[in-house]
Amino acid sequence: MRKSMLFFGFLLVFLGLALPGAQGKRISRCDLVKILRQNGFEGFVGKTVADWVCLVQHESSYNTRAFNNNGPSRDYGIFQINSQYWCDDGRTRGSKNACRTSCSKFQDDNIKDDIQCAKKIAQEAKGLTPWYAWRDHCRGRNLNSYVRGC
């Protein structure tokens, strides 16, 4: 009994230390503004950096390891890139993998590949309409607050 309680206590401590790292890196709003500006998002497909920051806030809450299971497909990373069309997760049947990469690459803290794929998505769509969060929370709204102070 004593050994099992000690093991259980150790397990709780281990999980408490391990889980925060599994949650991913949250990029601050102003750091994201800087990254997006450096990567040519201002004016890209006729949208502002504020549009992109709004999209990211509502898609992933700035979390590089965000994941959403949509049933037959899944969304990965800070831009919530979908496995049906844009990446290969090894589970989505008939994935187009148009960005020619593994979906797991969109869940690390290096968002260079996320940026390349997000730009490809936006360029093919001629805007941000593929992202439901942008359509529902950002389109047609004053988004100045997303870049204010950055």
CA–CA distance, 85 with 94 (Å, rounded to integer): 9
SS3 143: coil
CA–CA distance, 59 with 42 (Å, rounded to integer): 19
Catalytic residues, by residue number, are 59, 75
CA–CA distance, 134 with 107 (Å, rounded to integer): 20
Q: How far, in Å, are 102, 113, 137 from residue 46 at the CA level?
A: 28, 21, 18
